[in-house]
Amino acid sequence: MSASFVYIVISIAAIAAVALLVFLVSGKKKDNKNRLTPLAGLAFSFVTAGIIFGDDRLIGYGLMGFGIVLAVIDIIIRMKQK
């Protein structure tokens, strides 16, 4: 196993733990406005895929960049709703 593979596995596990905590906390409160939106979940998925496919820089950075763009769009939409 190479060191980069170990780092990728650790980062995926950390992101999965954070996602699990977000889903558990947001699932308890039905009236919570800070729950994860479908667009934010999609952005999270693209960033995670970018980490997984990080060996090919073009694909990895492209997926991460697209995920960040989706997250920014989600932030703008939520700011306009308030």
pLDDT in tens, 35-48: 778 898 899 889 88
Does pTM surpass 0.75? Answer: no
Short-list 43, 53, 28, 52, CA closest to 76: 43
Q: In the chain, where are the structural domains located?
A: 3-81
pLDDT in tens, 15-35: 888 777 776 666 555 555 667
Short-list 18, 73, 13, CA closest to 42: 73
